[in-house]
Amino acid sequence: MQPFLSLRKILQQKLNINSPALKPHTNLKTDLDMSDWEWNYLLNAVEQAWKISLPLSETEELSNAKQLLAVAKKQIPPTRIRGIRL
């Protein structure tokens, strides 16, 4: 599964956010009207699903899906990237 589709699936399953208009540059907080707890829950769900740890220093500046995926990909060891189902 592609990383963006995986993120969309997490949003749908964990936060009941089903947005067909979701694009890589969609602002997750404002365009999807996410509260702070929903944002934190999303980050935690991504960490659990992909078995990574997102650095707080990098997540504070995130706003869209493309940025979130870029930070997440940096946390995946190169040996796991090939077989990971993001």
- Cα–Cα distance, 43 to 27 (Å, whole number): 14
For residue range 23-46, list pLDDT tens digits in order.
999 999 999 999 999 999 999 999
Instruction: Return the pLDDT at 86.
Output: 47
Average pLDDT of the residues of the chain:
86
**How far is Cα of residue 24 from the mean position of the Cα atoms in its chain?**
11
pTM of the full predicted structure?
0.83
Domain ranges, ordered by start, for the chain:
3-16+27-81
Instruction: Return the pLDDT at 81.
Output: 54
